[in-house]
Amino acid sequence: MEANREYKSSVFSLLFGEENTLRGLYEAVEGVALPPDLPITINTLEDALFKTRINDISFEAGEKLVVIIEHQSTVSPNMPLRLLSYIARIYEKITASKKRQWYGKKGFTLPRPEFIVLYNGVEPFPDEKTLRLSDAFEDVSALGLPAGAPPDLELVAQVYNINEGHNRDMVQKNETLSGYVLFIAKVREFEAALSGGKNPVDVSRDDRKELMKTAITQAVHWCIDHTILKPFLERNGSEVINMLFGEWKLEDALVVEREEGREEGREEGHEDVARNALTKGFSVEIISEITGLSTEAIQSLANR
């Protein structure tokens, strides 16, 4: 199955947005081997208005399992809430043809969900972490309800650090995943070498953009020369450079803002970042997580 190229994507979702690479990724992360004849159906949520993906990748495996895989450079404690929204919409898609049965006497089965988050940001992060929706719930003990009682609603997501040097056994199980990890590591290596180790705030915006694009381009050529993701990068090299450049410009803008520690005009700075991200096709939810702006504020910017 080909990735839907009409919708703006990320390098990660472009690389793993096909049946075979997605199957291999899931098997490596979970340490399992799916039956080779088990059909994989990609059902990633897409927003027709913004021509972008709402979640990174989701798929069904033989109508028995539905998996949502998110790729994040920052991990928000609100991730389980976002995943809850995603799985609700996916189940609605799955059962769309059975709407009349929703209120019937006969129940229908749903594929079991799994939630996986792959982290490759620059901030220190453990190899693995569990995020729970219930961690966000209010304490109701003051209402006289039993303390510590399990909630009636829960969602558990496993976060894995896939930066170079982390979760080596898992990463090495899949050639595409290990190639992606090395490619990102090479981009950062070239970027550090080109900047001479300077702090981002000490480099002009134009110079940072040029530096980032050069680093990404050098990493693409290095990987091709060393047969890392070679067919993928030869086929999509220019698109990968533009995609990753757009992703990293957004991250860079936020890093610089944090480094400068601006208090006045901080919201305007976030709005500038949000506007740029909208033009690059990032989803409202992702921009909200990165900038801290509400989805309503970002939607207002988009409407303007």
Same domain membership, residue 184 and residue 158? no
Share of the chain above pLDDT 70, in %: 81
Nearest to 228 by CA among 218, 236, 217, 220: 220
Same domain membership, residue 238 and residue 210? yes
1 located within any domain = no
147 located within any domain = no
Q: Considering its fold, how many domains does the chain have in total?
A: 3
State the pLDDT confidence band at 236, using cuts at 50, 70 and 90: very high
- Quote the CA–CA distance of 286 and 98 in Å, as a whole number: 31
Same domain membership, residue 237 and residue 186? yes
Residue ranges making up the domain that contains 69: 11-96+108-138+153-168
144 located within any domain = no
Residue 53: strand pairing partners: 46
Pairing of strands 156-161, 112-119: parallel
Mean pLDDT of 157-177: 97
**Most confidently modeled of 140-154, 191-205, 216-230, 257-271?**
216-230
- Quote the CA–CA distance of 294 and 104 in Å, as a whole number: 38
State the pLDDT confidence band at 148, using cuts at 50, 70 and 90: confident
Model confidence, pTM: 0.81
**pLDDT tens-digit series, residues 34-69:** 999 999 999 988 876 555 677 899 999 998 999 999
Same domain membership, residue 243 and residue 192? yes
103 located within any domain = no
Nearest to 19 by CA among 51, 55, 66, 61: 61
For 27: left if phi > 0, alpha if psi spans -120 to 50, otherwise beta; the answer is alpha
**pLDDT tens-digit series, residues 173-186:** 999 999 999 999 99
Distances (CA, A) of 147 to 135, 137, 138, 156, 168: 14, 13, 11, 20, 40
Same domain membership, residue 281 and residue 234? no
Distances (CA, A) of 63 to 43, 108, 196: 12, 12, 51
Same domain membership, residue 22 and residue 116? yes
Same domain membership, residue 226 and residue 293? no
Same domain membership, residue 183 and residue 64? no
Same domain membership, residue 266 and residue 249? no
